[in-house]
Structure 1
Amino acid sequence: MTKIEAIIFDLGGVLIDWNPEYVFLDAFNGDREKMQWFLNNICTMNWNENQDAGYPLVKATNDLVKQFPEYENYIKMYYGNWEQMLGGAIEGSVKILKHLIDNRAYKVVALTNWSSETFPIAKKQFDFLKWFEGIVVSGEEKTRKPYKEIFNITLNRFKIKPETSIFIDDNLKNIQTANSLNINTIHFKNPKQLASELKNYNIYL
């Protein structure tokens, strides 16, 4: 087996708990069905991912309000109350990250789909974001996962060979793109599973 030299972490869903439900379940008075309809049809994940690729938040909000004026108040909550969507650190994953950093045997970086406008809020809130050798933020690069371009930006910027790296992400589409570029991958489910799968690469915690 090739010796692993670099580990690339996704952030949201792997190290940071982020979920629009933390805002909208209250907004819809606990009516999960109404909330889910709104998130599936108005403020969708595809819409949010457009901002992750650099589209301005104010413009995105105004575009959607013009399209769905009856939902104006709810639409404005999405980025107006965005900080409340951060549920906190996924502690088990942060412990794994710390071990890998302390080990000093690996180059440890992050690759995240995140708006450049909201990422500074996360940086203030989560000290462990300072541990990485570097973080590639989609909103700053004007492209996002699962497109190959942002993976190549990451590999080139940090001089990482794909076959000697592991990419950790909770999104299967992102994992598939990484695999197509000969990057080793772990499809994240929970910290225990992550620790177990790292052993497959002779990385013991």
Structure 2
Amino acid sequence: MTPQLKNASRYTNIIFDLGDVLFTWSASAPRSPVPADIILKILRSFHWMEYEKGNLEEAEVYSLVAKEFSVTSEDVKAAFQAARDSLQANPQMLDVIRQLKEAGLKIYAMSNISAPDWAVLSTKAADEDWELFSRTFTSAAAGERKPNIGFFEKVIEKARIDPSSTIFVDDKLENVLTARSFGMHGIIFRDQSKVIKELKNLCFDPVGRGQEYLVSHKQNFSSVTSNGLTIDENFAQLLILEATGDKNMVDYAKSSSHFNFFKSSTVPSNSRESFPNDMDTTSIGLTVTDHVDLASKLAVMDEMLKYRNSDGIIQVYFDHSRPRIDPVVCVNVLTLFYSNGRGQELFETLNWVEKILVNRAYISGTYYYHGADQFLFFLSRLIQASSYVQQRLGPVFKERIVERFGIEADSLSLAGRIIAAAAVNIEDKRDLETLLSMQSEDGSWGDGWFYRYASSGILIKNDGVSTALALKAIQLVNSTP
């Protein structure tokens, strides 16, 4: 499937360098009689630059550089012939260019290359590969070379391109710098995978790519721990369900009363420790699923009220031997209660959550949750569930959200931050731009650590959650008046 361009993409043209970007060669080819370090020095010499601009003939430049670097002209000629023989196309980059071309972008090539070298290079790819380029510009034909401004001016004029709608890809910083000085978006080609990721994120529709990722992985969104273990748990599935609204997307253990974090109550990885049902997963499950009737929900809520500590704050587990409390868990239980008209029964818990918010106690995360933005994300769900809570906490919540804008974070935290801002009608475009740049090549958003095993500090992430929340964040910002 050909990816679609962004609806609001500013880019219509891409200019690629050829050498070391779309084609690779070896300065230390086996048959080369000149050492690789000398070859590289020759390529940076004044004489070679003049040769690339067409100001010197091939035999003439071989003679001049041979004299300058104390080698014979015959050896120089043989060395560069060996280098030419080593030239080969980069199929992965050509495949990406094909996708960009099919999506509607105009593709150009711009290379510092002599006429003889261009004659050889033009035979190193199939005709259909060269047809991907609307036009190829060489220094030999232009009489100019990168990074000279004159070469760029000629390309802009002859291709009739708008620099502000153009991406420029080159392996040399000085060339990219000149391109940027014209207003182009410059990409330095150092890590091919990062370049491909950036090109796709700049040009292709992030929502379509993200949705394609979710569909291709539906009912297969396992969580992963920071020490490399895979776990099957319900909490992530429920969050994906809420974000997507698609019951066919997820696979969780249904319950008519209590929910457990794990699909089975035993922790994987050969651990004998079992975890009791928890208020957190149960509250999310009873809030976002539609298979539990109201009477069953109310009965579970009655039981939850029995698990409050001496301060009246709701606990994490349905287990009196584990009197642990966590602000995010409190928020999720409050959301369940307020959604069912019973929020006033947990006023001590709401009072504590308010103190957490006012005094920024969440700034380093909570006992079970990794970061500050997770607390604000879940609190935004509570604010949306209750006009009373919105009136009471809304003003300070807005302050706390805005002060997070621009703070470096992973994709999950940024998505949660943007969603939380949208819940109180604030548009976080600054973090959205960063989030868009973090989309992976496969269309997902990864590396978003969400919660943790409190006793060990091991973190847990789920790329399905990160992707679903990122898509929701994008859609919320795009739909905000």
1:2-60 deviations in Å (ceiling 9; x for gaps): 61111111111111002322256x536xxxxxx2453355x343243332211221111
**Cα offset, 1:142, TM superposition:** 1.1
What SS does structure 2 have at the residue aligned with 1:132?
coil
In the other structure, the counterpart of 1:156 is: 157
* Distance in 1 (alpha carbons) for counterparts of 2:100 and 2:140: 26
What SS does structure 2 have at the residue aligned with 1:22?
coil
Instruction: Name the TM-score, length of structure 1 as normaliser.
Output: 0.83
Alignment of 1:49-64 (within 5 A): 49-54=49-54, 55-64=56-65
What SS does structure 1 have at the residue aligned with 2:156?
helix
* Distance in 2 (alpha carbons) for counterparts of 1:38 and 1:4: 40
Indicate if the aligned counterparts of 1:23 and 1:85 stay in contact, CA closer than 8 A: no
In the other structure, the counterpart of 2:138 is: 137
What SS does structure 2 have at the residue aligned with 1:3?
coil
* Distance in 2 (alpha carbons) for counterparts of 1:98 and 1:168: 15
Instruction: Name the TM-score, length of structure 2 as normaliser.
Output: 0.38
**Cα offset, 1:145, TM superposition:** 0.3
Indicate if the aligned counterparts of 2:10 and 2:165 stay in contact, CA closer than 8 A: yes
What SS does structure 1 have at the residue aligned with 2:167?
strand
* Distance in 2 (alpha carbons) for counterparts of 1:120 and 1:160: 26
Q: Does 1:187 align with 2:188?
A: yes
In the other structure, the counterpart of 2:110 is: 111
**Cα offset, 1:102, TM superposition:** 1.8
Runs of 5+ consecutive residues of structure 2 not aligned to the other structure = 1-7, 206-440, 442-481
Q: Does 1:48 align with 2:48?
A: yes
In the other structure, the counterpart of 1:32 is: none
Indicate if the aligned counterparts of 1:23 and 1:84 stay in contact, CA closer than 8 A: no
Indicate if the aligned counterparts of 1:175 and 1:186 stay in contact, CA closer than 8 A: yes
Q: Does 1:13 align with 2:30?
A: no
* Distance in 2 (alpha carbons) for counterparts of 1:114 and 1:17: 14
**Cα offset, 1:81, TM superposition:** 3.5
- Say which one has the larger Rg: 2
In the other structure, the counterpart of 2:267 is: none
1:126-161 deviations in Å (ceiling 9; x for gaps): 122232110001111111000011111111111100
Going from structure 1 to structure 2, the CA distance change for 1:37 and 1:100 (only over 3 Å counts) comes to: closer
Q: For 1:111, give the aligned amino acid.
A: M
Number of residue pairs matched by the alignment: 195
Higher RCO (C-alpha 8 Å, min separation 6) = 1
In the other structure, the counterpart of 2:33 is: 27
Going from structure 1 to structure 2, the CA distance change for 1:66 and 1:23 (only over 3 Å counts) comes to: same
* Distance in 1 (alpha carbons) for counterparts of 2:178 and 2:116: 26
* Distance in 1 (alpha carbons) for counterparts of 2:162 and 2:73: 47
* Distance in 2 (alpha carbons) for counterparts of 1:117 and 1:37: 22
Q: For 2:29, give the aligned amino acid.
A: Y
Indicate if the aligned counterparts of 1:57 and 1:79 stay in contact, CA closer than 8 A: no
What SS does structure 2 have at the residue aligned with 1:111?
strand
* Distance in 2 (alpha carbons) for counterparts of 1:53 and 1:90: 25
What SS does structure 2 have at the residue aligned with 1:49?
helix
Going from structure 1 to structure 2, the CA distance change for 1:162 and 1:143 (only over 3 Å counts) comes to: same
**Cα offset, 1:79, TM superposition:** 3.7
Q: CA RMSD in A?
A: 2.3
Indicate if the aligned counterparts of 2:22 and 2:90 stay in contact, CA closer than 8 A: yes
Indicate if the aligned counterparts of 1:163 and 1:182 stay in contact, CA closer than 8 A: yes
* Distance in 1 (alpha carbons) for counterparts of 2:141 and 2:114: 8
Going from structure 1 to structure 2, the CA distance change for 1:61 and 1:6 (only over 3 Å counts) comes to: same
Going from structure 1 to structure 2, the CA distance change for 1:135 and 1:40 (only over 3 Å counts) comes to: closer
* Distance in 2 (alpha carbons) for counterparts of 1:142 and 1:167: 20
Q: Does 1:94 align with 2:101?
A: no
Q: Which moved more, 1:89-98 or 1:161-170?
A: 89-98
**Cα offset, 1:70, TM superposition:** 4.9
Q: For 1:136, give the aligned amino acid.
A: F
**1:3 corresponds to which of 7, 10, 20:** 10
What SS does structure 2 have at the residue aligned with 1:21?
coil
* Distance in 2 (alpha carbons) for counterparts of 1:27 and 1:59: 19
